[in-house]
Structure 1
Amino acid sequence: MKEGIHPGYRDICFVDLSNGFKFVTRSTAQTKETIKMEDGRELPLIKLETTSESHPFYTGTQKSVDSLGGRVEKFRNKFAHLSKK
């Protein structure tokens, strides 16, 4: 590997604002905030709205919007009694 061409990765703490879940990973993201970890380290902090711990797709709570058929099917079912027989 060539020297001096790789970005400066560092440990960063990401926090899920919806449930408080924290995880530490290496990143090049810039931030002004820091957080004191349980092990005594002070790490840069990035706040996230959602992570895999809170996103409905990953938690299994996602609901299918079109589970009972398409829009046309719903319209036809709703107004079936008005059609000519």
Structure 2
Amino acid sequence: NVRELENAIERAVVLCTDDEIDASLLPSTGKESRPGDGVGLMIPGITMSELERMAIEKTLDAVNGSTAKAAEILGISRRKIQYRLREWAEQDLG
């Protein structure tokens, strides 16, 4: 469906490290895929908090720091991103 395609492309853009999206960043199109399967990110031992921080920071990098654009891509509010950035800044200082 179109929404799934949009999400897959947005995630691939966020996760890519250069100017081209590698096929490994896109979801599998094989028969083994089931509805609801998305682009998976498997990092053994990473916490949800660490994963959230990584997603927000990579997305902000991809959109040159625009919290509004990052929020739209991630499907969260701009205020949530701003709150997390303040929270992480305090943690990093303390």
TM-score normalised by the chain length of structure 1: 0.23
Greater per-residue strand proportion: 1
- Larger relative contact order (C-alpha < 8 A, sep ≥ 6)? 1
TM-score (norm 2): 0.22
